[in-house]
Amino acid sequence: MISHAELAAEFGTPLYVYDLDELAAARDELFAALPEEFELFYALKANPHPGIVRELRTGARSCRAEISSTGELTAALAAGFTGADCLYTGPGKTAGELAEAIGHGVRLFSTDSVTDVRRVGAVATAHGVVADCLLRVNSVTASAATSIRMTGVPSQFGFDSETLIELLPALREVPGTRLAGMHFFPLSNADEASLIGEFQHTIATAAELAAAAELPLRYLDIGGGFAAPYGVPGERGAYPTLRGELAVALDKYLPSWRAGRPQIACESGRFLVGASGTLVTQVSNVKISRGRKFVIADAGINTFGGMSGLGRLLPVAVGLAPDSRGEQASLVGPLCTPGDVLGRHIALPPVEPGDLLSVPNTGAYGPTASLLMFLGRPAPMEVLVRGDRVVSASRIDYRRVEHVLPAKFESTEGI
Ligand SMILES: *Cc1c(COP(=O)(O)O)cnc(C)c1O
């Protein structure tokens, strides 16, 4: 493979390198861990780069696209998906977004409330089409179900499973919609035992709800939660017995599933793309403060893990491959905020200004989950490689400003 040093010399830093062969390997690995009748959605939230999305669309078995904004719709279409390949999700869909989606042929929506279904229906009707709605179910998780208090968690997502049945009469008669099934997404980043337990519980809950409510169950998206390391060395989760366990649970609760009644789907973001990415950052300074060492790099929370820097997403604790000469230091970014820390007291090789550091497993929740605009540095370069070939190099330009002041506000200031 082409070296990170060569790429950094060519394109500058901070730099994301995405390895398309690794991406294809993760895609094939996840398909192999699922029964062959399953569909798999790629959650574009994890990385909407069109080159990444395109790779997941291709292959012997290709993903469909899980999107939740007009921007993600645009990325999916740019990667060659059609609207019909997409599942549109999210608790706050607007009429404008829905019109874009339906206008581009999206027909499958995960819905979170009666208002949401009605809005989908109104837009579909205006376009003269019928939209399939999955009811997203906020159920009691498997681990909560085995504990004493059997309550789900309050959430903006989904219909509370306890009250869904009462709402069905209203949901059934929304013009422009057809109730197609259910969508669950109860957990993230889980090991095999937790995932199997959760899927068994989800499948049982879906079958029970469908029977109790006489709900047509043509499509069942049981969610995901396939694990991948985030910015630290390590391997993707391994799911060697999942395929067999899923088949057992489905045979028990939904015996016609192999004939596509219902069609079953899973979804994933980080497992598919995490390992394909490496963040290459250059050390700009090394300093000691009161006995503590700080390595200042040109990538901070504007480049990686910004939302986690605010305690809002995933814990960021960057790590590098073990180095016998390693010494403890904090890896910090260039921003003027003490929160710009990628790793506190981590093992780092001895480095000097100008050296490069490669942070592994950064293909998911990178640039678009970071504080790109904060403090005005350019977005990182993103380079796609396949073997020794560089197949694309690009950079998000967030600095393009759209001036929208209507004439009636015309002022002489000319800002
Ligand atoms: C975020 C999200 C995903 C992807 O989650 P990962 O943990 O990255 O696999 C999948 N489905 C839905 C509905 C999501 O919101």
Q: % helix / strand / coil in the chain, to the nearest 5?
A: 30, 25, 45
Q: Give the whole-angstrom CA distance, residue 49 versus residue 368.
A: 9
Neighbours of 286 (CB within 10 A): 17
Q: Is 338 left (phi over 0), alpha (psi -120 to 50) or beta?
A: alpha
Using the structure block, give the residue that is written with the tokens 């009666």: 114
Tell me how far the alpha carbon of residue 3 lies from the centroid of ligand 1, in angstroms. 31
Q: Is 71's pLDDT higher than 90?
A: yes
**DSSP helix/strand/coil, 108:** strand
Note the pLDDT tens digit of each residue in 371-395.
999 999 999 999 999 999 999 999 9
pLDDT at 309: 44
CATH topology for 33-268 is TIM Barrel (3.20.20)
Q: Which atom of ligand 1 is nearest to the CA of 223?
A: 11
Q: Is 147's pLDDT higher than 60?
A: no
pTM equals 0.94
Question: Which protein residue's CA is at the shortest distance from atom 4 of ligand 1?
Answer: 269
Q: Give the whole-angstrom CA distance, residue 11 versus residue 26.
A: 26
**Positions of CATH 3.20.20.10 in the chain:** 33-268
- Rounded to 5 degrees, φ, ψ at 34 are -115, 150
Residue of 326, 368, 324, 363 lying closest to 343 (CA atoms)? 326
Mutate to test the pocket of ligand 1, among 188, 195, 202, 307 (most ligand atoms within 8 A of CB): 188
Amino acid at 231: G
CATH topology for 275-395 is Lyase, Ornithine Decarboxylase; Chain A, domain 1 (2.40.37)
Six token digits for residue 18 = 């995405």
For 153-205, give the DSSP string.
---SSSEETTTHHHHHHHHHT-TTEEEEEEE----SSB-HHHHHHHHHHHHHH
Q: Give the whole-angstrom CA distance, residue 72 versus residue 216.
A: 29
Mean pLDDT of the chain: 91
Confidence grade of residue 162 (pLDDT, cut at 50, 70, 90): confident
Segment among 88-92, 130-134, 228-232 with least mean pLDDT: 228-232
Pocket of ligand 1, beta carbon within 6 A: 43, 45-46, 66, 89, 185, 188-189, 224, 226, 267-271, 364
Mutate to test the pocket of ligand 1, among 34, 69, 182, 185 (most ligand atoms within 8 A of CB): 185
What DSSP state is assigned to residue 226? B
Q: Give the whole-angstrom CA distance, residue 23 versus residue 21.
A: 5
Alpha helices in 238-315 (DSSP H): 242-253, 270-273, 306-309
Amino acid at 317: A
pLDDT at 312: 39
What is the number of helices (H) and of strands (E) in the chain? Answer: 12, 17
Question: Which protein residue's CA is at the shortest distance from atom 5 of ligand 1?
Answer: 269
Note the pLDDT tens digit of each residue in 272-290.
999 999 999 999 999 999 9
The beta-carbon contacts of 203-210 under 8 Å, at least 24 apart in sequence, are: 203/246, 203/249, 203/250, 203/253, 203/254, 204/249, 204/253, 205/137, 205/139, 205/161, 206/137, 206/182, 206/253, 206/254, 207/253, 207/254, 209/137, 209/161, 209/164, 209/165, 209/182, 210/182
Tell me how far the alpha carbon of residue 16 lies from the centroid of ligand 1, in angstroms. 21
Six token digits for residue 93 = 């869909």
**DSSP helix/strand/coil, 115:** helix
Tell me how far the alpha carbon of residue 272 lies from the centroid of ligand 1, in angstroms. 11
**Portion of the chain with pLDDT greater than 90, in percent:** 76
Give, rounded to a whole angstrom, the gap between the first and last alpha carbons of the chain.
Answer: 49
Average pLDDT estimate for 14-33: 98
Using the structure block, give the residue that is written with the tokens 């260039």: 334
Q: Give the whole-angstrom CA distance, residue 277 versus residue 85.
A: 25
Confidence grade of residue 311 (pLDDT, cut at 50, 70, 90): very low
Mutate to test the pocket of ligand 1, among 39, 40, 41, 45 (most ligand atoms within 8 A of CB): 45
Confidence grade of residue 349 (pLDDT, cut at 50, 70, 90): confident
